[in-house]
Structure 1
Amino acid sequence: MRIDRPQLLDAALAAVLAVGSGVALAYSGSPLPVTLLTVLACLPVAVRRRWPLGAFTANIVLGLLLAALGQDPGTTGTATLILLYTAAAYRGLAVALGALLLSFVAYTLNAAISLPDQVTLSDHVIVVIVLAAVWGTGRSLRLRRAYLDELKDRATRLERARDADTRAAKAEERARIARELHDVVAHHVSVMTVQAAAARKVLASDPALADEALSAIENTGRMAMNEMRNMVGVLRTDGGYPAERGPQPGMHDLPALVEQMREAGLSARLSVEGVPGAIPAGVDLAAYRLVQEGLTNTLRHAGAGAAAVVTVRHEPRELDVRVEDDGRVPSQAQQTGKDRVGHGLVGIRERVALYGGILKAGPRPGGGFEVQARFPLKDGQ
């Protein structure tokens, strides 16, 4: 059995009370049975924390035996008060009230047995006040301990909730970074792959055209590195110097994006309808990424000779962005558009939903593939 420090302190307190009472009674010439009963009445203090009510009851019974022998049990009073305090401080209200009632009953019996004519009314009042004060002190300590435990439990729950929110925020941020990396890397790598294949085919027959394709690959790679560097710069939080942050791409970059796709061999054109207005930054980036993903998919999956049209329609309260191609490929899976629904379109769908938009992606009735998003715009935007 493990004995902790409070139990050792209780055992030491019980030993001090027992030895002190025994020595005092022996010095005064009390009979040996009285001395032994008094010592025994002090020993329950050693187990007061483990069995508060049992220890208190044992002390009361031994005190009544002393009264029955015609002895004043007052020498055990200190142990009685300690045990009453313990029952009030370490047990529930029902047990604590039972201990208080038991103390009143025991005192009444002791007063009736031990020379009742020598006890005045003021003595009874003082004893009742002392017993009530000791019991009240124990209950106050218990309530304060329960209040502190509740505060600790509440702090623990708040900390767990904060940790859960932090984990959710980190997961959301990882998802956002994954979407950005996919949009940047997949687009530029796809363009570089197509250009490299074209350069390999004409390397021997047309070195000038191959050199032009290689230059385009170099420029595309440099653009990819710049975008990734900007992204990493946003994520950096340490270091002695602030990270350089470039502006995020948006609708104003669509002409350059379409031109880049033309250089990669895709017949693409841009059509803008309506009067451009102020667009929120998040919607601006989401619309750009949608066009980027749609053109990249056309370049990769639509087949040779495919053409793509990017249509941007500005309306007073809505932004409509559409990427259509006329690609015709033999595979049934490709005809249903299944090969195009990868991580890129999943990320685009999340982006569009984030800003309350509606995304439609699938094969066109006349052939080819279509990606369309409609973003709601608030008044004044």
Structure 2
Amino acid sequence: MSATPPSPLSEGTSPAKPWWSAPPGVWTALAWCAGLVFTFLIRLRLPGEEEPAVIAGVVLYRWDGLVFLALATALALDGSRLLSRRPLAAVGRLLAAAVTGTMPLSVGEIPLAQFLAVDVALYFIAAARSRRTGGIAVVMALGTLAGFLATRWLSGWNTGTSSELAVALTAVVAWLMGTSAHQSRVHADELREQATAQAVADERLHIARELHDMVAHSMGIVALQAGAARRVIDTQPARAREALGEVESTSRETLAGLRRMLGALREAELVDGGLHQGPVRAPGLADVDRLAASTTAAGVRVEVRWLGERRPLPPEIDRSAYRIVQESVTNVVRHADTRACRVTLDCGDDELSIEVVDDGRGHGEKADTGYGLVGMRERVGLLHGEFAAGPRDEGGFRVAARLPLPAGVR
């Protein structure tokens, strides 16, 4: 996926785009035509003026002066046409047009009206092209202005140095504005790429948590049942077969879940900078009773207590609450050395409270290898809730979480 927006020098425009999104060549041509119209207007006596603002040159209205202006216009239009494909060649033609269009005006410098199209081109080149291309373009423009003044000065003609410095300043300003636009676009691209990378990293972390929760719980049940089968296989073959059957069913269920998740990942498509997955239902609080039944069958009795009104919850809260219960029960199976635990789910008006307690020998951060309590704490933190876990004074271990509910669920 490309995070780079269309270049300002792209050819053509979409019919759905507004008129101001025309190609840069169009704006350059319009700038030249506007400068040409202004050149004639200031040499006419407009209403309210006693005399024209600028006296017309001797050859301006003669056939040779008009030929120079027509040739300059042709050069400017050709440069505008090339601006998207060959920017430096386009600047060269526009500069030639500025010099040619100045000849019949009988002035000592290239006026701003004749240089306006060059300024527009400098902006678009600096905004869309590399810094090297933009630098060459502005050097060409400043060199042309300097060369024009030097030619007139060496020929002994009048030179408008002060006015030409002002024109040179407009060229530098146009180039700086284009460079600033280019840097802003590059920075926006970098931010979009960082946001995309962060979204992918977050999705990978989410998948890792889901896999950890699924596999850790299932493997805990499998280990418990396999151990029970090993102990009674000689004295109680029927109990051993029952335990091995539970191992088989749990393993098959886990394998099916992994296949569903991997299938969703294969079908995932990158849409608008985010990872879009197929409709695979994630487990939620509705599966807590099934979780308790499978754990009880494995030898650790799980008592589930529901308080408050059971009602649909947002998917992220429903899924995270189930994973907290699952991971807590898994820790009881793996570390608590107890035969029972209690899960309390209280769906209040403003929050969902989760509590898992056991009366075993206790387990903590050191016994929980790496991701259990840390993962639960991160889940709760992402939902702006509160999490606590630690040994109880009366013995055993307690995990508690409070997840605030959105206003629409209250």
The amino acid of 1:311's aligned partner reads T
Structure 1, 227-236 or 370-379: larger mean CA deviation: 227-236
1:1-58 CA distance string (max 9 Å, x none): xxxxxxxxxxxxxxxxxxxxxxxxxxxxxxxxxxxxxxxxxxxxxxxxxxxxxxxxxx
2:406 and 2:194 map into 1 onto residues whose CA distance is: 33
Which structure has the highest helix share of the two? 1
**Which residue number corresponds to residue 292 of structure 2?**
258
**Which residue number corresponds to residue 246 of structure 1?**
280
1:90 and 1:190 map into 2 onto residues whose CA distance is: 72
2:332 to 285, 292, 298: 298
Tell whether 2:396 aligns with 1:368.
yes
Task: Report the CA distance between 1:268 and its aligned residue.
Answer: 1.5
Please say if residues 233 and 245 of structure 1, whose CA atoms lie closer than 8 Å, have aligned partners that are also in contact.
no
TM-score normalised by the chain length of structure 1: 0.62
Q: Residue 407 of structure 2 aligns to a residue in which SS? A: coil
Task: Report the CA distance between 1:142 and its aligned residue.
Answer: 3.1
Structure 1, 368-377 or 245-254: larger mean CA deviation: 245-254
**Which residue number corresponds to residue 348 of structure 1?**
376
Please say if residues 268 and 278 of structure 2, whose CA atoms lie closer than 8 Å, have aligned partners that are also in contact.
no
2:224 and 2:294 map into 1 onto residues whose CA distance is: 12
Please say if residues 356 and 375 of structure 1, whose CA atoms lie closer than 8 Å, have aligned partners that are also in contact.
yes
**Which residue number corresponds to residue 313 of structure 1?**
346
**Which residue number corresponds to residue 361 of structure 2?**
328
Please say if residues 195 and 213 of structure 1, whose CA atoms lie closer than 8 Å, have aligned partners that are also in contact.
yes
2:225 and 2:322 map into 1 onto residues whose CA distance is: 22
2:245 and 2:235 map into 1 onto residues whose CA distance is: 17
Please say if residues 89 and 138 of structure 1, whose CA atoms lie closer than 8 Å, have aligned partners that are also in contact.
no
**Which residue number corresponds to residue 217 of structure 1?**
247
Tell whether 2:304 aligns with 1:270.
yes
Tell whether 2:207 aligns with 1:189.
no
Task: Report the CA distance between 1:214 and its aligned residue.
Answer: 1.1
Task: Report the CA distance between 1:90 and its aligned residue.
Answer: 4.1
Q: Residue 344 of structure 2 aligns to a residue in which SS? A: strand
1:136 and 1:380 map into 2 onto residues whose CA distance is: 63
1:12-27 equivalences in 2 (<5 Å): none
1:202 and 1:139 map into 2 onto residues whose CA distance is: 94
Please say if residues 179 and 344 of structure 1, whose CA atoms lie closer than 8 Å, have aligned partners that are also in contact.
no
**Which residue number corresponds to residue 67 of structure 1?**
none
Please say if residues 267 and 308 of structure 1, whose CA atoms lie closer than 8 Å, have aligned partners that are also in contact.
yes
1:146 to 164, 167, 176: 176
Q: Residue 380 of structure 1 aligns to a residue in which SS? A: helix
Task: Report the CA distance between 1:139 and its aligned residue.
Answer: 3.9
Task: Report the CA distance between 1:261 and its aligned residue.
Answer: 0.4
1:280 and 1:89 map into 2 onto residues whose CA distance is: 58
Task: Report the CA distance between 1:147 and its aligned residue.
Answer: 2.7
Task: Report the CA distance between 1:245 and its aligned residue.
Answer: 4.0
Tell whether 2:194 aligns with 1:164.
yes
1:327 and 1:342 map into 2 onto residues whose CA distance is: 21
2:193 and 2:172 map into 1 onto residues whose CA distance is: 31
Please say if residues 337 and 363 of structure 1, whose CA atoms lie closer than 8 Å, have aligned partners that are also in contact.
no
Structure 1, 370-379 or 244-253: larger mean CA deviation: 244-253
| Number of residue equivalences | 271
Structure 2 unaligned blocks of 5 or more: 1-107, 116-134, 270-275
2:138 and 2:257 map into 1 onto residues whose CA distance is: 66
1:201 to 231, 247, 255: 231
The amino acid of 2:204's aligned partner reads R
> How much is the aligned-residue C-alpha RMSD, in angstroms?
3.7
Please say if residues 322 and 373 of structure 1, whose CA atoms lie closer than 8 Å, have aligned partners that are also in contact.
yes
1:156 and 1:140 map into 2 onto residues whose CA distance is: 24
The amino acid of 1:350's aligned partner reads E
TM-score normalised by the chain length of structure 2: 0.58
Q: Residue 338 of structure 1 aligns to a residue in which SS? A: coil
The amino acid of 1:310's aligned partner reads V
2:193 and 2:263 map into 1 onto residues whose CA distance is: 26
The amino acid of 1:234's aligned partner reads A
The amino acid of 1:204's aligned partner reads D
Task: Report the CA distance between 1:180 and its aligned residue.
Answer: 0.9
Tell whether 2:319 aligns with 1:289.
no
1:339 to 367, 386, 396: 367
**Which residue number corresponds to residue 26 of structure 1?**
none
Task: Report the CA distance between 1:341 and its aligned residue.
Answer: 6.5
User: What is the percent sequence identity of the aligned residues?
Assistant: 36
1:211 and 1:244 map into 2 onto residues whose CA distance is: 38
1:89 and 1:249 map into 2 onto residues whose CA distance is: 62
Task: Report the CA distance between 1:161 and its aligned residue.
Answer: 1.6
The amino acid of 1:273's aligned partner reads L
The amino acid of 2:370's aligned partner reads G
The amino acid of 1:168's aligned partner reads Q
The amino acid of 1:325's aligned partner reads D
Q: Residue 276 of structure 1 aligns to a residue in which SS? A: coil
Rg bigger for which structure? 1
1:167 and 1:367 map into 2 onto residues whose CA distance is: 45
Task: Report the CA distance between 1:299 and its aligned residue.
Answer: 0.5
The amino acid of 1:368's aligned partner reads G
Task: Report the CA distance between 1:133 and its aligned residue.
Answer: 6.5
